[in-house]
Structure 1
Amino acid sequence: MQKLSLTGSTKHAADDQLRGLSVLFLDGDEVFIDNGAIHGKSRLETGVKFVQNRAEVPNGRTVLGLWITLHRFPEGQGFYGVQPFELFLDKEAQVGYKNLVEQVKGMEKAVRGEVNLAGVPQAARQKIVEYLQKVRPDLWQHAQPAFLEAMTSLGD
């Protein structure tokens, strides 16, 4: 008898390419895409027990995450929506805090093309801009104007 594979894959497979919805992290000086975060399975989240109260994370560090979406414009595919979120992690203690409700709301807004980088410092934006321009200059070139303006504005 032949065994049918109805679920496709038994392991979560997340490549690090920009898709319709992607997650970009800024962890210290490192900028990277980890689409496993869409399902709460990024390399940062693996092995971490998430708690309900940020105060329960003894020596946490803040990691900036961005939901980034793409859209096909008449000129070509480009960056569309962006919404920030934070992870507060203590990898050594394997504990962390994230506001899942706010993350889901931010993801939905990014999918709708809403752009918000309020609270994201200019230095962080610059690192993200450099990364996105290097990884996919074509998507940067065709980004919606609100995305470009938010990424390159001088305000925090």
Structure 2
Amino acid sequence: MSEEQPSQKKKNQFTIMKDDSTDGHGGYGVGSISLENISPVIIDPAEDRAFVDMGAMHARSEVERRVKFLPDKEAVPNGKLYWIVWVTVEKKDSGSYYHGVAGSEIRVDRSIKRAYKSMPEHVNHMDKSMKGQVIVDHMDEHSKKLLGDFLRDFNKEMWENSADELKQALPE
């Protein structure tokens, strides 16, 4: 008997999470925020890469695993910089577009199994992304270029349909 090996290559994709809390059941979660159109894009400027990692929705992305997060950046002085960029996708008559984009910093030092992340910042940036805001000014230029290239390459039509504010914040 031969078993098929699952593909080792991960596909970059924006996952739509279905969690409609207003479907009429009246139970837990009614009136809460829906996260169905948001995806976390991880920017790794040291390795020149950007990728979607849905594990970040629950602090379980590739870069967040097997480390203890601390709220003090000074406690991780040699941490490697990553950005988790919360990207919200919406639809309008002309098609889907990047509605909101907000980057949140994390620093990871694997040698001491410690990392820095400001949970309030991540929650606020996720919320602002869902509200259509673009928050990337605090990111370094190289990381912004990686993000812009990723979004353009991922779906040119969604990029074209996006607001000028996003295109100006992430120039080519």
Q: Which amino acid aligns with 1:85?
A: S
Q: Which amino acid aligns with 1:139?
A: M
1:137-156 equivalence runs, <5 A: 137-152=156-171
Q: Which amino acid aligns with 1:141?
A: E
Residue 51 of structure 2 corresponds to residue 32 of structure 1: yes
Moved over 6 A (4+): none
Structure-1 separation of matches of 2:75 and 2:142 = 29
Unaligned stretches of 5+ in structure 1? Answer: 1-14
CA displacement, residues 2-44 of structure 1 (integer Å, 9 cap, x when unaligned): xxxxxxxxxxxxx842141011121121211112111111011
- Match of residue 13 from structure 2: 17
Q: Which amino acid aligns with 1:18?
A: F
Task: Give me the TM-score of the superposition, normalised by structure 2.
Answer: 0.74
Output the aligned Cα RMSD: 2.0
- Match of residue 3 from structure 1: none
- Match of residue 75 from structure 1: 94
Task: Give me the TM-score of the superposition, normalised by structure 1.
Answer: 0.81
Structure-1 separation of matches of 2:112 and 2:74 = 13
How far is 1:98 from its partner? 0.2
Unaligned stretches of 5+ in structure 2? Answer: 1-10, 16-36
Among all aligned residue pairs of Structure 1 and Structure 2, give the percentage whose two residues are the same amino acid. 26
Q: Which amino acid aligns with 1:17?
A: Q
